[in-house]
Amino acid sequence: MQAKYRVRRVRLPDLPRILEIERAGFGKWAWDRNLFAEYTHTCGEHFLVAEEGGKVVGYAIACLERGMASLDSIAVAPEARGKGAAARLLASLVRRLKRRGVARLALMVKVTNRRARAFYERHGFRRVRQVARYYEDGQDGVLYHLDLAVE
């Protein structure tokens, strides 16, 4: 049985928990508190958290630019992975973006992150191209798009 998650906009008091989730998911490549604080201001409407029992278990950030959206980050706490939190976050983002009339959601994922790539493909994203040495560690990225105007 999948856990039930409540999705809402981020609040500044959520940042310490978001940083824990970020470090657990991305290790030495984790973003810092200042960047997340900036995202609360620049992309706040689409910076969402998933809660279970009042505890933040995941987050997703999408930012808008020129009618398009980019999924800048999504992460789930290790104890909540594989239980539907990421899917719930993504579905909520997609609904919110569609309501705003956004035509496309784009994202970049490491070519070696097979689990994430499979997740996005299951949710309708299509692979656009591979980008050489996109990430700080020298790994290639794969650009994906989800056309939001298509049902």
pLDDT tens for residues 64-117? 988 789 999 999 999 999 999 999 999 999 999 999 999 999 999 999 999 999
What are the tokens at 102? 């956004």
For residue 103, tell me if it sits in a domain.
yes
In whole angstroms, how far apart are CA 78 and each of 34, 65, 107? 23, 31, 22
| Interatomic CA distance for residues 20 and 106, integer angstroms | 25
For residue 73, tell me if it sits in a domain.
yes
For residue 81, tell me if it sits in a domain.
yes
**Distance from the Cα of residue 139 to its chain's centroid:** 19
For residue 1, tell me if it sits in a domain.
no
The answer to whether the predicted template modeling score (pTM) of the entire model surpasses 0.85 is yes
Q: How many domains does the chain have?
A: 1
How large is the average pLDDT for residues 50-67? 94
The CATH number that applies at residue 28 is: 3.40.630.30
Q: How many C-beta neighbours within 10 Å does residue 86 have?
A: 24
For residue 31, tell me if it sits in a domain.
yes
Task: Show the domain range for 141.
Answer: 6-147
For residue 108, tell me if it sits in a domain.
yes
Q: Tell me, what's the pLDDT at 1?
A: 40
Residue 3 above 80 pLDDT? Answer: no
85: closest CA among 50, 113, 135? 50
